[in-house]
Chain A
Amino acid sequence: MIWLLEFLIFAMTGVLLLHSILSRSKQFTIIFWSAGLIMGLLREIALSGISGYYLYGDFVLTIGGIPFIFLLFWTNLSYLSWEWSNNYLGTEYFQSKGWDQHLPLIFLTMMLASFFFEALLSQFNLIRWNLEAMPSLWGNTPVLAPFTYGFTGVLFMRSFKLLWDKPHQSWPLVALKLFAIQPLVVLALVGLLFVTNLFIILTFVSG
């Protein structure tokens, strides 16, 4: 069943890549997914490799011990949440001003997607959380997990918009900014939010 899950996420990625190429451009698609992959890789190294918040199950395709579908799926979710919020509001996020209604909807989509995905992974023990002190939703998934999906999506899209949305930029410069700077900035902010949330939840739990 694990190979089937991996295959479905590859199929999902293919379909979304096609949608992005047809609705935007090939260059945009390459940069968006590449930035997402780098960001996802750093995120998994930070949360699983260094912090040890969770361990992976027996995935078929891995890169340095990190399941490849994790990198793809999280980028796919960001793209989906962006598209869904655009469709619901009837406006394009990249043309909106500052912090508007798109970001809460992106957060909501990421959070709700984490519900079903974490439940799906927990069925096959594909992710084993080590945060035992925290209340869990299902399969030992801590209540904090959906929020980290949401925060990661919002920060990724917000920083992507900031770095992308500058007139007269050359493609190599955009690529450099999105591959090198953006993942680190997002990761630092996610880490900060994660620690803040952890502190708040632990205060309530222990109090």
Chain B
Amino acid sequence: MKKLLFIYIPYGAIDLLLTAAIIMELINKRYDLLWSNFPILIWGMMSFNKKLKASNNDLVA
């Protein structure tokens, strides 16, 4: 669990701001800006997924 949290830190830092950005855009009804949050979210998920797989393989080996 600790290891997973440690791996997530560089992604969580952006997720923190992304969440705030999406909430602020919804509150201010700036729906035209919402798309700008998704490219970094998707790229972050791809990178995080790769790291998770690599760390799982390390544990199995």
What is the interface of chain A, defined by CB distance below 8 A to chain B? 1, 4-5, 8-9, 11-12, 15-16, 18-19, 22-23, 76, 79-80, 83-85, 87-88, 90, 108-109, 112-113, 115-120, 122-123, 138-139
Contacts and interface: CB of A to CB of B under 8 A. Distances in A.
B8 to A, nearest CB: 10
B56 interface: no
Interface SS of B by simple majority: helix
Contacts of A120: 17, 20-21, 24-25, 33
Contacts of B47: 84-85, 87-88
Contacts of A90: 50, 54
B16 A115 contact: no
Contacts of A119: 21, 25, 33, 36-37
A123 B25 contact: yes
Given A9-B17, A83-B10, A116-B18, 5 more contacts: A11-B16, A12-B17, A84-B11, A118-B36, A119-B21
A112 B17 contact: no
Contact of A113 (B30, B33, B40): B40
Given A90-B50, A122-B33, A116 B40 contact: yes
B9 interface: yes
Contacts of A108: 43
A112 B37 CA distance: 8
Contacts, number: 90
B13 interface: yes
Interface in B1-39: 6-7, 9-14, 16-18, 20-21, 24-25, 28, 30, 32-33, 36-37, 39
Contacts of A16: 9-10, 13
Contacts of B7: 87
A123 B33 contact: yes
A113 B39 CA distance: 8
25 contacts: A8-B20, A11-B16, A12-B13, A12-B17, A15-B12, A15-B13, A19-B10, A23-B6, A79-B10, A80-B10, A80-B13, A80-B14, A83-B10, A84-B11, A87-B7, A87-B10, A88-B46, A109-B43, A116-B18, A118-B36, A119-B33, A120-B25, A123-B25, A123-B28, A123-B30
B24 A76 contact: no
A84 B18 contact: no
Contacts of A9: 17
